[in-house]
Amino acid sequence: MVRLILRRDRVLLPIWVLVIAVLPASYAATYAELYPTAAQRAEYLATTAGNPSIVALLGPAYGDSVGALATQRAGLLHLIVGLISLLVVVRHTRTEEEAGRRELLGATVLGRAAPLAAALLVTYAADLLLGLLVAGGLVASDLPAAGSVAFGLSVTLAGMFFATVGALVAQLTESAGAARGLGLAVLGVAYLVRLAGDAGGVEWLSRLSPLGLAQRTHPYTSERWWPLAVLVGLTALVGALASGLAARRDLGAGVLPQRLGPATAGGALAGPLGLAWRLNRVALLGWTVGAAALGAVLGGAAEAAGSAVEGNEAVARLMERLGGSASVAEAYLGATLSITALAAAGYGIQAALRMRAEETAQRAEPVLATGVSRSRWLLGHLAFALLGPAAVLVVTGLVTGLAYGLSIGDVAGRVPRLTGAALAHVPAVWVLVGVAVLLFGLLPRVSVGVAWAALAACLLLGQLGAVLELSQWLLDLSPFTHTPQVLGGPVPRTPLLALTATAAALSAAGLLAFRRRDLPR
């Protein structure tokens, strides 16, 4: 079972481990270059790293050393690793069971506990490897070993805990979608509890969250190991509960009763667009709410970020490369909006790949056996894959502009300006959606792995390209490189039109390929 999981995840697993592993060391190198003196770092901590909005988003900083600031900047890694670990375990447990493959394996000599144990073992090993690479990269950046190990272990144990949460929710529900939804709800509550505790300075509230515990190791100041021990205990407790439920429930069933739907479908389900809305509405709502919360935090922190780097020419030049030639505060917002655009692209890819999930679960074939054509079915899903990210970015721009406008007393001027800046990223997002649609139509077996790998590559180039001064031809591989920074001047239309045309061509090619290929059996 371990070999089977490694075989199936041979592309995605190494990619996310390696991409995440290099980020903390890159942050350390950036802080060492931009804030070389202790006085500069202390000023940055007082004005920016200590800002309530930044603390709410990333977590607290426990000192003004390069390591302390870099690990605060990498605070979202606990959330990201937890999310990936949870999804990997659900994929190799409940998804396999729902598809019927688990029952086939169970009819052989495979033991009942083997699939769950194998999924956890592989995910735990990936999290441990990631933690070791994170610690090794920080040590290689001339940071103290104790703090590097503490931060690396905190990332590892955050991933392990939420991997075990994934194992638990896989026992509670009957469908993989419900398991993912329940697991994401647990992760979201943990993040919100940590956010509320850190923003309000309520230490005990932050410690109630596993994410808050993972950030209480105080790396590079006075390393604390007891939060890691608590995480180990919580992981063991949740794991024992998941194992016990797996041994007692029926195969294919969940502990929580499945709620029956209405006996008759509503009129909205009469066509493929209504079906696509039914399948994507929960995810779209979740991404939109998350984007609104992120926009509020980013907009509230912009003024403090701009004030913190006044007089630091190196930071100003970097921010202008990342966010345009406007004021430093707006350059900061431009840079953060580009990261939000990557998150919106994640939703677009997820919506596009929903077609592959419907196909492999054999739910697409009965629909296509009716009068619904392949083109109409694909276009129904494509509507949400294209318009959904645009809606997420509009909400992000609106809330960011509102928060920033309130902080400087210029709501009427900043809301449309930042909404337009967010919308400028939509064509680049559409290109990644087009890549996913093309892969679905042309190479469906590898569509999921390659589509997410493309997003990971864009994230890596966007985060490290300007800092490491990579070759331009390499940066040009990312569609986000061609997105104009509209906050710094007039909006050039040529790159936006070129990106839109590229996305349309990729989507059209994917549609033609899907119309001509066979459905899997």
CB contact at 8 A, 484 and 492:
yes
Angstrom distance (rounded) from CA 447 to CA 438: 8
Q: What is the pLDDT of residue 308?
A: 54
Q: How many residues does this entry show for the chain?
A: 521
Q: Is residue 66 pLDDT above 60, yes or no?
A: yes
Q: Is residue 40 pLDDT above 80, yes or no?
A: yes
Which residue, 385, 312, 308, is CA-closest to 350?
385
Residues of the chain with pLDDT > 90, as a percent, come to: 31
Structure tokens that stand for 43 in this block:
């000023």
Q: Which of 133-137, 335-339, 493-497 has the lowest mean pLDDT?
A: 335-339
Q: Is residue 129 pLDDT above 90, yes or no?
A: yes
DSSP code at position 263: S
Q: Which of 217-221, 223-227, 339-343 has the lowest mean pLDDT?
A: 339-343
In this prediction, residue 311 has a pLDDT band, given cuts at 50, 70 and 90, of low
Mean pLDDT over 109-123 rounds to 91
DSSP code at position 47: I
CB contact at 8 A, 469 and 402:
no
Structure tokens that stand for 374 in this block:
């392949």
Angstrom distance (rounded) from CA 397 to CA 491: 16
Query: Of the segments 203-207, 291-295, 424-428, 516-520, which one has the largest average pLDDT value?
Result: 424-428
Q: Is residue 321 pLDDT above 70, yes or no?
A: no
Q: What is the pLDDT of residue 317?
A: 56
DSSP code at position 266: -
Angstrom distance (rounded) from CA 455 to CA 49: 28
How many C-beta neighbours within 10 Å does residue 521 have?
5
Mean pLDDT over 80-105 rounds to 88
How many C-beta neighbours within 10 Å does residue 248 have?
9
| Helix, strand, coil in percent for the chain, rounding step 5 | 80, 0, 20
Q: Which of 84-93, 427-436, 486-495 has the lowest mean pLDDT?
A: 486-495
Dihedral of CA 203/205/208/210: which sign? negative
Structure tokens that stand for 237 in this block:
């407790």
Which residue, 70, 303, 42, 462, is CA-closest to 59?
70
45 vs 241, higher pLDDT: 241
Strand, coil or helix: 29: helix
Q: Is residue 521 pLDDT above 70, yes or no?
A: no
Mean pLDDT over 262-289 rounds to 83
Q: What is the pLDDT of residues 406-455, one digit of tens each?
A: 878 878 888 888 888 888 899 999 999 999 999 999 988 888 888 888 88
Q: Is residue 200 pLDDT above 60, yes or no?
A: yes
Which residue, 140, 159, 138, 160, is CA-closest to 219?
138
Residue with tokens 């592993």: 21
Q: Is residue 481 pLDDT above 90, yes or no?
A: no
CB contact at 8 A, 56 and 199:
yes
CB contact at 8 A, 49 and 72:
yes
Which residue, 99, 118, 141, 148, is CA-closest to 4?
118
CB contact at 8 A, 354 and 272:
no
Angstrom distance (rounded) from CA 469 to CA 448: 30
Structure tokens that stand for 252 in this block:
């294919």
Q: What is the pLDDT of residue 303?
A: 66
Structure tokens that stand for 171 in this block:
């026992």
Mean pLDDT over 106-111 rounds to 84
Q: To the nearest whole number, what is the mean pLDDT of the chain?
A: 84
Ramachandran sector of residue 100 (left: φ over 0; alpha: ψ -120 to 50; beta: rest): left
Q: Is residue 53 pLDDT above 80, yes or no?
A: no
Dihedral of CA 418/334/82/355: which sign? positive
If DSSP states are collapsed to H, E and C, what string results for 467-494? HHCCCHHHHCCCHHHHCCCHHHCCCCHH
Angstrom distance (rounded) from CA 164 to CA 146: 27
Mean pLDDT over 379-408 rounds to 89
Q: What is the pLDDT of residue 394?
A: 92
Angstrom distance (rounded) from CA 173 to CA 390: 32
Mean pLDDT over 25-48 rounds to 83
In this prediction, residue 100 has a pLDDT band, given cuts at 50, 70 and 90, of confident
Alpha-helical segments (H) within 74-222: 77-91, 94-99, 101-106, 114-140, 145-172, 176-200, 203-207, 210-214
Angstrom distance (rounded) from CA 513 to CA 85: 33
